[in-house]
Amino acid sequence: MIAVTSSERPLPAFVQQPLKMLIDGQWVDAVSGKTSPVENPATGKEFARVPAGAAADIDLAVQAARRAFEKGTWARMSAVQKERILWRLSDLFEQHIDELVELEIIDNGMPISLITRAIERAIDGFRYYAGMCTKLHGVTSEISGQRADFHAYTLVEPVGVVGLIVPWNSPFSAACNKIAPALAAGCSAVLKPAEQTPLTALFIGRLALEAGIPPGVLNVVTGNGQDAGAALANHPDVNKISFTGSTEVGKQLVHAAAGNLKRLTLELGGKSPVFVFDDADMDIAIPRAAAAIFSNSGQICYAGSRLYIQKNSFDKVVAGIADIAKKMRMGDSFDKKTELGPLISKRQHETVLGYIESGIAEGAELVTGGHAPQGDGYYVEPTVFANTGNAMRIVNEEIFGPVLCAMPFNDLKDVPALANATPYGLGAGIFTSNISTAHLAAKRINTGNVWVNFYGGADKSMPFGGTRQSGWGREGSIEGIEAFLEKKAVYIRL
């Protein structure tokens, strides 16, 4: 393990000023006047404070969004105008990418090489949906009947006021994944970032005003999940919630949505399997399987945390991944050579270390890692376990840290039972040189996404989401914008 210390850097200008929420085009404090700390996970130290939004603030934001929606300042704006404004906002993101990267690093801890690519991809995705503004339309239908002639057609209309709740593991990207299709559809929105990572959400709000998005169309309320998040989920004037986060919170949102039957899109947790067959190109499989779990310190919903290796290759693959883990550079996320940043918080740090302890206690073989290095920040070494089994907590439960469980398997017939052994179904990886094996395995794994001979990533032209307890609905592609639309059938007797 190559460890480096985090360098002291001056704070970005954006966080040297008082930070406020965006409601109805105005920058405001919380109604209560309370604030909450923002902590750098690389040092464990507070460096800023943001308003501690709660139910009263959410209500003001929802009212602003409702007024904007009913006035039609955005919803009834021409498609070409909306497209131009959203494209202008994406250009502003690009112009301010260095600031966005810096804010994301001090807020989230992701290494600069990873976060830069993530933000660039998010901007590309934002432009994908900007282009969708001019491509939304209904269809005409030939009515079959004997009594009269009809002209029948459908209209596609925005669902209304939407709540967008985003996680802390890739805050800017997750926000863009929701804002872009919601606004392209013509909705008004209230964005609630994770309390750990509010900075880029507030920066998006600033740039949205500069781009020309009308007041009330995009509101940003900071606060914790129990107060602001729950109030948004329960608000009777919110028509839809789009949430990315834990399965536990996703289940709570299902109950919250019952009050007014809100539409829900839920992108939840995962415990994704990766299968390495004996015929795989190991020069590809070993480093990609390592990246599948260690990228962003394992803090990815679809992280490949369960590694199944065909028996003849088991020792070679485990040794190869362990060797990669031992050589990974951990520390200062502003260093372009850093591969592993900190976990998001003290709580998550303790949770991951607790899982490692439970794995050892249940008899798993600790191949490498398993410790927190000395010094500041919430770092955990990349960890590889072997001799793990389906009864162990580290195999069944989502850890959200750099912890890999390696297990042998016999052949293709074992894939369905092993892959589908958990209640999750978000991602899966397959490494093989046999095209038939790849197709058959992909078909038999109950999941929303399958990657063959690589792992992770998503293109906006493709849907992304999970099955079973990994969520409802899809983000990305046409499905991503349809989630923010209603269809109306119109019949005209001629």
Catalytic residue annotation: 267, 301
Q: How many CB atoms lie within 10 A of CB 76?
A: 10
User: Length of the chain in residues, anyone?
Assistant: 494
Would you state the structure tokens that stand for residue 426, as one six-digit string? 């978000």
Q: Are 52 and 119 in contact (CB under 8 A)?
A: no
d(CA 477, CA 483): 11
d(CA 114, CA 317): 25
d(CA 227, CA 128): 33
- Vertex 242: Cα angle to 239 and 243 (nearest 5): 135
Q: Are 80 and 229 in contact (CB under 8 A)?
A: no
CA distance to 31, 140, 141, 300, per residue, from 56 (Å): 7, 44, 46, 32
Give start and end residues of each alpha helix (H) in 140-229: 171-184, 199-211
Q: Are 201 and 166 in contact (CB under 8 A)?
A: yes
Would you state the structure tokens that stand for residue 442, as one six-digit string? 């992909």
Would you state the structure tokens that stand for residue 94, as one six-digit string? 């690009």
Closest CA to 217 of 85, 389, 412: 85
Q: Are 262 and 240 in contact (CB under 8 A)?
A: yes
Q: Which residues pair with 244 in a beta bridge?
A: 267
Residues 6+ apart with CB under 8 A from 251: none
